[in-house]
Amino acid sequence: MTALVIRGGHLIDPAAGMDAAKDILLKDGRVAEIAGPGKLKHTEGATVVDAKGLTVAPGLIDIHVHLREPGQGYKETIATGTAAAAAGGFTAVAAMPNTTPVNDSPEITRWMQAPERGAQVRVFPIGAATRGSKGETINDFAALKSAGAVAVTDDGRPILKDNIMRETLAAAARVGLTVIQHAEDTRLTQGASMNLGPASFRLGLRGMPPEAEYGLVERDIRLVSELRDTHAHLHVAHTSTAAAVAAVRQARRNGLRVTCEVAPHHFLLTEEHVGLYNTHAKMNPPLRSAADRDAMIEGILDGVVDAIATDHAPHAQHEKEMEFEHAPNGITGLETALGLCLRWLHKEWHLPLGRVLSLLSAQPAALLNLKGRGTLAVGSYADVVIFDPKAEWTYRAVETKSKAKNTPFDGWEMLGKVRWTICEGRVTYTNPA
């Protein structure tokens, strides 16, 4: 494999406490050497990447994406979804199991990682917690883990039965896997298509009450606390309500292994962005109240939120051109995450750049125990994003690498333009200035 030298850039590696002008040598898919500007020793024959004026950081990691394969290739494929990931600066994504069929087996888990899928970034499958994600029979987590699964979840079909969730947490803890819960008590959200509030009443749409989320988060935390001795790890997916973040904060104070992620749309948008039935503002969990949105920002600023994850959920155009209540949930997010985080978390709300990058790389890597990723320390995987931190640009959904254009951020101003994405030493995206 050819060697790459990244020269003249400013390296920010929060996990290594690095924030300085450095040159980097990538060799055989790993970080081989880091040195001051012009000080690298073994650069003979290496291809040079000129990173002058650019920020060099660990490749971004999105622990919540839907790549739609197997079975729903008309929405997205692993190849197109990961191409969008690379364009967004991501070098690894964790793929949810709500495919067709559900990824509840080592065979599908391996199929998703096969070279034939044409992935542009590293794909880490997340296995289904129960057979067919039906919430009844727990899968063989050891087998899923050895096939490459990095966590288990039933995602959009959350585990409601206490005993099944308790068993899932215990079984996952035994093999060292995280349990991710999409916290939604679906008994309270039948037929609902947005947040329950004044806007849903005005629009004549059935609403999802916030307690459908935080009620289940509180139930899960209670189960984790009962299993304290097993070191069970609960990760709350796409937290959207103030009460859910508060519950996670309290659980952590009590010493429990409970973590959470927030999606950019939940710290930027509110139920008012549904406007007049914009299906690109329909997702699950739904856009919430302004107070909830502010609580997501506060949770990110004060550190209780462990990761930014996009919940990239591509859909075909005709599926979103439907009556609001019939349109599927979800929006794309891989290409807009960094630009929105820098524009809002960093520039607007003054979260230091290193912490923004940590939420997008080091912390998600730690959450799912992705060894050698989320950092550029010597010996780590050569997963790198190189971006212009000053570049302001406008996102255009028509230019996406994804198959899908279902985003509420079309036409939004972004800060920070990805110039190079390098995954395990291979350049997977370039966009020179």
Partner 1 sequence: MNPQPRRRTLHTPAPPASPFPYHPGSLLSILDLKVEDVGRLLARATELEKQDPLKRDRILSKRRIALLFYESSTRTRTSFELAAKALGADTTLVSNLSSSIEKGESLKDTGLTLRALGAEAIILRHNSSGSAWLLEEFARLPVLNAGDGMHEHPTQALLDLRTILAHLRPKVREVSADTLTGVTVTIVGDILHSRVARSNMLLLPRLGARVLLCGPKELLPELAAEIGPGVQIERDFEKAMRESQAIMMLRIQAERLSGLQLDLEEYKAHYQLTGQRLAAHAPKAIVMHPGPIIRGMEITAGVADGVQSTILEQVTNGVAIRMAVVERALTAGEGGRA
CB of 205 to partner 1, least distance (A): 5
Binding segment for partner 1 (CB under 8 A), chosen from 12-20, 129-137, 164-172, 293-301, is 293-301
Q: Amino acid identity, residue 311?
A: D
x-or-dash string of contact with partner 1, 328-347, rule CB under 8 A:
----------------x---
* 62: annotated active-site residue: no
CB of 245 to partner 1, least distance (A): 11
Check binding of 278 to partner 1 (CB under 8 A).
yes
> Looking at 2, 48, 137, 349, which residue binds partner 1 (CB under 8 A)?
349
Q: Supply the DSSP string of 324-366, one letter for each residue.
A: GGGSPP-B--TTTHHHHIIIIIIIIT---HHHHHHHHTHHHHH
Check binding of 198 to partner 1 (CB under 8 A).
yes
> Looking at 28, 107, 162, 294, which residue binds partner 1 (CB under 8 A)?
294
Site for partner 1 in 254-273 (CB under 8 A): 268-270, 272-273
Check binding of 323 to partner 1 (CB under 8 A).
yes
CB of 198 to partner 1, least distance (A): 4
Check binding of 396 to partner 1 (CB under 8 A).
no
Q: In the structure encoding, which two tokens stand for residue 165, read together?
A: 């969730």
Check binding of 172 to partner 1 (CB under 8 A).
no
Binding segment for partner 1 (CB under 8 A), chosen from 130-138, 167-175, 297-305, 331-339, is 297-305
Binding segment for partner 1 (CB under 8 A), chosen from 21-29, 139-147, 168-176, 296-304, is 296-304
Site for partner 1 in 398-417 (CB under 8 A): 412
Q: Supply the DSSP string of 197-208, one letter for each residue.
A: SHHHHHHT--EE
Residue number with CB closer to partner 1 (28 or 321) = 321
Binding segment for partner 1 (CB under 8 A), chosen from 15-23, 189-197, 362-370, 417-425, is 189-197
Residue number with CB closer to partner 1 (125 or 354) = 354
Looking at residue 312, the DSSP 8-state letter turns out to be: B
Check binding of 395 to partner 1 (CB under 8 A).
no
Helix axes 210-226, 162-175, angle to 10 degrees: 50
Q: How far apart are CA 132 and CA 105, in angstroms?
A: 9
Which letter, b or e, does each residue of 52-71 get, where b requires 16 or more Cβ atoms within 10 Å of its Cβ? Answer: eebbbbbbbbbbbbbbbbbe
Whose tokens are 């904060």? That residue is 249
Check binding of 253 to partner 1 (CB under 8 A).
no
Check binding of 394 to partner 1 (CB under 8 A).
no
**Paired strand residues for 236:** 181, 260
Q: How far apart are CA 402 and CA 332, in angstroms?
A: 8
Phi first, then psi, for residue 148 (nearest 5°) are: 120, 0
Q: Which of 314, 240, 370 is nearest to 66 (CA)?
A: 314
Q: CA angle 299-303-309, nearest 5°?
A: 70
Residue number with CB closer to partner 1 (276 or 433) = 276
Residue number with CB closer to partner 1 (79 or 301) = 301
- My answer on whether omega of the bond before 264 falls inside 30° of 0, hence cis, is no
Please answer whether residues 152 and 167 qualify as being in contact, where contact means their C-beta atoms are separated by less than 8 angstroms: no
Q: Which one from 154, 185, 311, 383 is the annotated catalytic residue? A: 311
> Looking at 21, 114, 290, 378, which residue binds partner 1 (CB under 8 A)?
290
Q: In the structure encoding, which two tokens stand for residue 220, read together?
A: 């899960």
CB of 309 to partner 1, least distance (A): 20
Residue number with CB closer to partner 1 (4 or 205) = 205
> Looking at 17, 38, 115, 204, which residue binds partner 1 (CB under 8 A)?
204
Residue number with CB closer to partner 1 (137 or 317) = 317
CB of 168 to partner 1, least distance (A): 28
Please answer whether residues 183 and 220 qualify as being in contact, where contact means their C-beta atoms are separated by less than 8 angstroms: yes
- Alpha helices by DSSP H, listed for 134-271, are 141-147, 162-175, 198-203, 210-226, 242-253, 264-268
177, burial (CB in 10 Å: exposed 0-12, middle 13-18, buried 19+) = buried
Q: To 10 degrees, the CA torsion angle through 99, 104, 110, 112?
A: 10
Q: How far apart are CA 385 and CA 374, in angstroms?
A: 11
- Contact residues toward partner 1 (CB under 8 A) are 190-191, 197-198, 201-206, 268-270, 272-273, 275-278, 290, 293-294, 297-298, 301-303, 318, 321-326, 344, 348-351, 412
Positions annotated as catalytic residues are 311
